[in-house]
């Protein structure tokens, strides 16, 4: 985050981001748009992603000299929450991850095109399920690339004797396989085949970019569960049984209160992790522990809230025609992106222990 921003300025920047998000992807959202894009390649609207780029969202974390806004994780998490609540399928967080990697590698030309919305470059870093490591194994298939069918190129970290190199592989002619996801999008599996060498990239830079994407995904899950809860409360207030709204039944009120607590705890852990990353003065172990705590909680809570929301809607909630089902589907896909809850619980235990011992890898 820019050091020039004080608390009041940051609060105003966050408010403006939420307002601008409402213009492109409202919380109350046009879920007809989401339904129309489901299972139709590339799974999102390139024009909407380009509009997000025009708003400066792809470069939100980048310094101003790199064409970015110079904001931090608190601002990004607010934006990601709004997009999660709107079920926006556009791959903004993956695009921002690519922006961070390109900036770290000093690849200014592809970075400029990405930030301007002229090209969608997606990072092909993952080689195994539920991991937050980018080993860069030469020739190994890169898995779970979100909305890969809409990419113009892929960023492929490759390990050489001297360290990690970042390669830019054009999407045209690439060995790419697409698989449908529960929410109507697509994951891509890429078999790396050369491309253009952009330069070397530090492993810490890759790790930091993945931490940011992980926390932004947790914030997206927060938006998903929060809006699912809002829809459920509306349903409980309007659905009549025995001559009165079902929301007046004490048993359902208790269930709703439990869900609200889970949402509040997730929001608090995400806000704390974002503040820690923006501060930057704490140990690397402490930052990783905070991100893992937020992601584990958000993944578990989002699945709990959306599943309970389905049940509280009754039989209609189990149908694909019910909008509430869209939120469960999105939570199921996002919950394991950038590491499952189980992985992050293990990592939290390890990193929090290391931090208590004073092991500072920063």
Q: In order of start, what are the domains of the chain with their CATH numbers?
A: 205-356 (1.20.140.10)
Determine the pLDDT at residue 357: 55
pTM: 0.94
Determine the pLDDT at residue 124: 98
Determine the pLDDT at residue 250: 83
Q: Running along the chain, 362 residues long, what does each successive block of 10 average in pLDDT?
A: 66 90 83 94 97 96 91 96 96 98 95 97 97 95 98 97 94 96 97 93 96 98 97 88 76 92 98 94 92 98 97 91 95 98 97 64 41
Cβ–Cβ under 8 Å, residues 330 and 221: no
Determine the pLDDT at residue 25: 85
């Amino acid at each position: 985050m820019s050091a020039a921003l004080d608390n009041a300025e940051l609060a105003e920047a966050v408010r403006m981001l939420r307002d601008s998000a409402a213009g492109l992807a409202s919380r109350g959202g046009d879920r007809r748009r989401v339904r129309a894009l489901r299972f139709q390649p590339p799974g999102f609207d390139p024009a909407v992603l380009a509009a997000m780029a025009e708003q400066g969202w792809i470069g939100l974390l980048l310094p101003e000299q790199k064409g970015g806004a110079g904001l931090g994780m608190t601002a990004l998490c607010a934006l990601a929450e709004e997009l999660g609540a709107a079920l926006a399928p556009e791959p903004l967080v993956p695009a921002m991850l690519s922006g961070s990697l390109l900036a770290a590698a000093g690849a200014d030309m592809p970075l400029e095109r990405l930030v301007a919305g002229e090209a969608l470059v997606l990072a092909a870093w993952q080689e195994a399920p539920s991991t937050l490591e980018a080993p860069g194994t030469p020739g190994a298939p890169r898995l779970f690339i979100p909305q890969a069918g809409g990419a113009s190129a892929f960023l492929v970290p490759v390990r050489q004797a001297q360290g990690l190199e970042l390669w830019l592989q054009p999407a045209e002619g690439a060995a790419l396989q697409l698989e449908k996801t529960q929410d109507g999008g697509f994951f891509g599996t890429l078999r790396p085949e050369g491309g253009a060498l952009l330069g070397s990239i530090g492993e810490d830079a890759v790790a930091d970019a993945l931490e940011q994407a992980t926390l932004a995904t947790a914030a997206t899950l927060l938006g998903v569960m929060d809006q699912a809860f809002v829809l459920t409360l509306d349903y409980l207030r309007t659905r009549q049984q025995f001559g009165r709204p079902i929301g007046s039944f004490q048993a359902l009120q208790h269930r709703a209160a439990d869900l609200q607590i889970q949402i509040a705890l997730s929001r608090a852990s995400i806000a704390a992790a974002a503040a820690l990353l923006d501060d930057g003065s704490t140990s690397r172990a402490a930052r990783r522990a905070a991100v893992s705590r937020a992601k584990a909680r958000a993944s578990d809570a989002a699945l709990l809230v959306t599943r309970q929301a389905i049940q509280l809607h009754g039989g209609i909630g189990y149908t694909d025609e019910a909008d509430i089902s869209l939120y469960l589907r999105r939570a199921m896909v996002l919950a394991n992106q950038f590491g499952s809850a189980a992985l992050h619980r293990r990592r939290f235990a390890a990193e929090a222990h290391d931090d208590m011992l004073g092991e500072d890898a920063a």
